[in-house]
Structure 1
């Protein structure tokens, strides 16, 4: 490891002050680009080294660089920093298969648009969020609120299609068995007719959901087939984009 101004950083943000050897930084970035490498994101820490002075200089000197092929092999990797201990560097801890818990994904059902109350739920959720100056954050908040309200509305007024189909079939079966030993009452006959009618609608909804899921599956399979090429394209985009620019708040 080189010392002083020759510590290898890839971006001005990798150092806590502006005493930067930009020539060396440019060479390091070109080397990373020529090797076609990508840096694994470091979670939880911005810098990995300190000179331990009263007003310390902090730098990101420790990093993990990988190839596109490695990224494809370990898409669930997770990089974090450990305690410096007796060193002035942070040891890096790389988990190849991180089991990160994720919330249940939101699935929009196309048949929702045909149910009474759908438009009211969307309009109410969309307008319920306070105004935020940043348009991206504002859109994200509105989409999140709408998804949450739609999921709650569906659970309350639509419920599980599969469970409703199972219940309807079970009741129809019991009435069919009872019909073999006695005459069904008028109410039982009407219930059986109503359940059969509802079952047709539920089966149609189930087919609609299945078709929608199959489209998503085909898209995912298509993405999986071209994942390698997409990764290369994304990496090339990162290479041609200057890393010295940060996010702009609106």
Structure 2
């Protein structure tokens, strides 16, 4: 039944065993009572959890379910690979990188990347919900066109419209699949897995487990949330910041070999565009994000776009 209805265990805290036979001889304690939810519950109550209470006068432990307090978390910027399929993204990128800025080249690059983040966060295509809305609208159009074909099967215009809608559906579904693969950080879809509902449910589930477990730790009747946060910080400070009484004796450290003089020039010569290009394109497009939220896929698309623009003789300067 659990597998047929796609149920999963809700995050729990408190007592582990929920039932016992309450006998001194041959005692039995098992986790008999559970809370099972589906993906719609997790999507509606991502911070929900339950606490196993003491048995009191019963042989079963009561389960206290809470939906979790509504906490708005600051999400880290994560570059979505499918953004490169939008013309608005490239328009924003070209406008930002075409602006001449004074200063050190690496700082100018960081400044433009920050400005690009601001534009992306304010765009209507930023959220993956925009793809879902387009897919839903196209699916409804597909149903309407198929209804017209049933009434007039020889009308070529209906068949052309259906072909166009099917191609758009395939395009946006591929974008959605790309985002799921990137977000889930797994390769299920690489080998033909098409159960997107199950995969999306796993994404919700992982997020729910992380958030609800933290909320269970930080909330409770004894202390307020901020006090528990400070206690946790103080605990790890004491564990990780202990003074080390052992000091190294520098007299026993051997002196290393000096750098050969013929390598001096290689260390100070400017980095060439070809070297940068080789390093960037050697990175995997599905690799983890950098500290700024951008990945190798973005850098590869950026350099490829710059190379195409330079071949066409455009006046855009990417430095």
TM over 0.5, shorter chain:
no
Q: Greater RCO between the two (CA within 8 Å, min separation 6)?
A: 2
TM-score in terms of structure 2 length: 0.32
TM score, norm. by length of structure 1: 0.39
